[in-house]
Amino acid sequence: MRLQLLTVCCGIALHSRMSRVPLLLMDNFQSASVLAGVLCVTALMLAFVLAYLQPFVQSWYPKKLSACCRVMLALFSYGLLLMAGFCWAMMLAQKQLHHRLPLALEGQDFWVIGQVASLVRGQTDADTAVDAGFGNRRTRQFEFDLESACLRLKPELCAADKPLMKGMRVTLSDYGALPIQAGQRWQLRVRVNRPHSFSNPGVYDFEASQFQRGIMARGYIRETTFNQALPPARWSINAWRAALASQIDNAGGQSKQQLNHPGLLKALVIGDREGVSDQQWALFTSTGTNHLVVISGLHVGFIALCAWTLVNGLVRVSPALMLMLPAQQWAAMAAILAALCYSVMAGFSLPTQRAVIMITVFMGSRLLGLAVAPADALLLAALLVLLLDPMAVTQAGFWLSFGAVASLFFAFAAHGRNRLRASSLRYRVGSAWQRWVQPQWVVSVGLLLPLIVWTGQVSVISPLANVLAIPLVSLLVVPLALIGSIALLMGVPGSDYLLILADKVLVMLLGFLSWLISWSPGNWRPAMPDFDVMVLMAIASVMLLAPRGLLPRYLALLLFLPLLRPPDPERPAPGIVWVRFLDVGQGLAVAVHTLGHTLLFDTGPTLGPDYDAGKAVLLPYLRWSRIAHLDTVIVSHWHADHSGGLQSLASEIPIDTFLSGQGGSADNAAQAPSSADHVQNCESGQQWQWDAVEFQVLYPPAANTLIMPSGNLNNTSCVLMISTRGQRLLLTGDIEQQAEHWMVREWANSLRADIVQAPHHGSRSSSTLSFMGAVQPDWVVISAGYNNRFDHPHPEVVQRYQDADVLVENTADSGAILFELGGDHPRLLERQREQARRFWHTPR
């Protein structure tokens, strides 16, 4: 049975590797549903034949032939189960793709009617804000379920039209002052695009997470007097959650004491993490306790356990209830109900859905009186999760949650068979170890490999921190916060004191974690290991977690040793240079790799008050590339779309040399990383050589001759020429016409390049005919944001390059673009969006 369950799970997981929907399933998801059902029934029938009719097959055929038949039937059965899981997942995917926003409506204004389907959160959505013309100012954001959409200019004309896009869920940002609340129905004028993520090696796939959540478009509300609230259609749990959040924010009135951490309490009660500060989140991450400040499977499991224990004890004092059902069955029903209620309070988020399914499977077996092995129950829970949410396999939470439970089951499989005598001191010490310390050790070992692969970091003090944090939060803070919040909402006198007590426990916990992190190294960030090292780590983890005496544990430590040696990054040969134009949206970042050196030209844009291209793209990419330090970083000029990721980058990666454009303000100049060994301005004539590859700064000239009309920093941009074996690439920053004319005049005989980065993102203010004639490129690379409000690249500029027979590449369409210079001829090696294409990505 386990192999059958695992096979269906593998078939479902296989769909996440598809670059496009198979033609058979593309147009009709009803046929895919029928096909999946037929395959499942056929496979189950064959599995029944294989399991129960084996003696008849053995008696009908010779021994060798019967063995061959069994093998063939088994392979055929498993193949059908694999196909059944795959077809089921693709059926659900195709059903969701039918709700995708039509490409023709991207960037267009239209009317929608729907209901607010989430809490309304105040945060910055920088890409949408810039597109709306509001800069990076704070906004209110929420999910919105569409009942209808209309393309008319006036909303009163929509009544006669057929509703469009019914059932689609979108994320909207409000930059005005509309009194939008959770659960309300609204008529809104909106402008949306399909979800779009940066496409770079090693970078998180944002589109996958949006597709998993059912978000098919993202955009913002247009300001108009016709935006209005509508009568509510139905009661919403989100409205109740919003009221609960408001009560927590205002708690303390009865006792005249203010809560120190209302944001943490809201995160634990209703799953709203907005109030958790960046400093608090960093502290929890560094100590490996960040799973405690979200409503995870751990909290849902503890609530279910508390309900089971309470009801099991109460039922035993009631003979009438005991005659109806055994106490364990009453307790199992209570545990399932408690887990479901807590999950609903959290908005039935995906992590809580997984927890409820797992608890239902485990408690359901007790309710039905079935003896189900833990491994079977875990596989069945995984199958149910994937049947409901096939895209869960693309998210770290699925692997971490099931990995943690599997590790505990495996490590404690022989726990009951290895008990010490209860009367001995050794038993008491061993019991305390097994109850509190050993589970943390087991989970830390079991999740070591998944954490490195999915997050790139491991907290070295996580076991020690969780020994105290888990019982404090799960046994004290969560019950107190839940009871206090609900009582406060019901107006029970004195309910404030329960929240205050929970808050005091959190103050103690944060103090302990701060003390712990003060003398510990915090997070360990190893380079991405090779596949063979991952295999050794998996074997070592199994050996360490196996029951004592089953496998030699000391050998496991030897298998972990390769992880301590950082793997060598993949590098080009001497005289060869790889240049990767990273996809950072409306900005620029270019990574240049030679045999022994790495240069980064620009660091991408700011994406919000606490988020930038450094965190989102550069650091994950450098980790994927196994680069631990940068030889040179160049910020072409001090505009936020070119320097936005610098501080995040410099805080994590050592920098030897830092160059920047001239003419910035004192505040901009102060942004130069203090950790860099050498800091200087770019100036025409600077040059150096790495591994037979030459680098030369062509612009700007000396500061006293700098061209900067009206304080325009674009013409202070550094311009870098990279040359090797007669092949050349030109990086131009945001230079405009005046700088181009100067370069043509001063470097007329040295501007020829095979590849050029389009100045100023392909703006009409750049790429003059004289500059193009001097450079004569074969390729031009445009780094611009998807559907950006600046209309970059300008159609006239693109046409200008195409008329000159220049191949045009755009990071918005291709993702990260990799070129190689120094071979027989310059080559375009890779377009990341093509290489990593998945069916949920917006087609380009």
pLDDT for position 419: 45
Position 704 pLDDT exceeds 60: no
DSSP annotation of 793:
S
Position 844 pLDDT exceeds 80: no
pLDDT in tens, 155-198: 877 776 777 888 899 999 998 788 899 889 999 999 999 998 89
- Gap between the Cα atoms of 629 and 650, Å rounded: 10
pLDDT for position 377: 83
pLDDT in tens, 437-455: 677 788 888 888 898 888 8
Position 39 pLDDT exceeds 70: no
pLDDT for position 354: 78
pLDDT for position 128: 45
**In sequence order, what DSSP letters do the residues of 334-385 get, joined into one string?**
HHHHHHHHHHHHTTS-HHHHHHHHHHHHHHHHHHTT----HHHHHHHHHHHH
Residue entry with tokens 């205050």:
500
Tokens of 652: 């994590």
Q: Which amino acid is at 681?
A: N
pLDDT for position 178: 87
Residue, of 439 and 593, whose pLDDT is higher: 593
Position 275 pLDDT exceeds 60: yes
pLDDT band at 459 (very low <50, low <70, confident <90, very high): confident
Phi, psi of 506 (to 5 degrees): -65, -40
Position 234 pLDDT exceeds 90: no
Residue entry with tokens 């009544």:
159
Which is nearest to 577 in space by CA: 324, 819, 292, 240?
A: 819
pLDDT band at 328 (very low <50, low <70, confident <90, very high): confident
- CA 232 to each of CA 113, 149, 313, 779: distance values in angstroms, whole numbers, following the listed order: 12, 18, 43, 56
pLDDT for position 57: 56
Tokens of 556: 């496991």
Q: Which amino acid is at 628?
A: A
pLDDT for position 133: 46
Average pLDDT (741-766) is: 92
Q: Do residues 699 and 718 touch, judged by C-beta distance below 8 A?
A: yes
Strands 458-459 and 121-123: unpaired
Position 137 pLDDT exceeds 60: no
Residue, of 563 and 577, whose pLDDT is higher: 577
- Gap between the Cα atoms of 473 and 4, Å rounded: 38
Tokens of 327: 């106490």
3-state secondary structure (DSSP) of residue 567: coil
pLDDT band at 390 (very low <50, low <70, confident <90, very high): very high
Average pLDDT (766-785) is: 94
The residues near 14 (Cβ < 8 Å, ≥ 6 apart) are 82, 85, 86, 89
- Gap between the Cα atoms of 839 and 15, Å rounded: 9
pLDDT band at 779 (very low <50, low <70, confident <90, very high): very high
Position 349 pLDDT exceeds 60: yes
pLDDT band at 707 (very low <50, low <70, confident <90, very high): low
pLDDT in tens, 68-125: 776 777 787 788 888 888 888 888 888 888 888 888 888 889 999 999 998 898 754 4
Q: How many CB atoms lie within 10 A of CB 740?
A: 26
Q: Do residues 43 and 115 touch, judged by C-beta distance below 8 A?
A: no
Residue 37 Cα to chain centre, angstroms: 32
- Gap between the Cα atoms of 99 and 694, Å rounded: 51
- Gap between the Cα atoms of 671 and 675, Å rounded: 11
Position 701 pLDDT exceeds 60: yes
- Gap between the Cα atoms of 250 and 407, Å rounded: 41
pLDDT for position 136: 47
pLDDT for position 627: 92
Position 294 pLDDT exceeds 80: no
pLDDT in tens, 8-32: 899 999 999 988 877 555 555 566 5
Strand partners, 144: 116, 170
Cis status, amide bond into 793, omega within 30 of 0: yes
Average pLDDT (662-672) is: 59
pLDDT for position 806: 95
Residue, of 270 and 589, whose pLDDT is higher: 589
3-state secondary structure (DSSP) of residue 178: coil
Average pLDDT (676-690) is: 89
Q: Do residues 354 and 397 touch, judged by C-beta distance below 8 A?
A: yes
- Gap between the Cα atoms of 604 and 590, Å rounded: 9
- Gap between the Cα atoms of 470 and 473, Å rounded: 5
State the distance between the two ends of the chain, measured CA to CA, in whole angstroms. 43
Q: How many CA atoms lie within 13 A of 113 on its CB side?
A: 17
Q: What pTM did the predictor assign?
A: 0.86
pLDDT for position 757: 96
Mean pLDDT is highest, among 244-248, 512-516, 828-832, 839-843, for 828-832
Position 5 pLDDT exceeds 60: yes
- Gap between the Cα atoms of 475 and 310, Å rounded: 14
Residue, of 258 and 746, whose pLDDT is higher: 746
pLDDT band at 127 (very low <50, low <70, confident <90, very high): very low
Phi, psi of 839 (to 5 degrees): -65, -25
Average pLDDT (367-376) is: 79
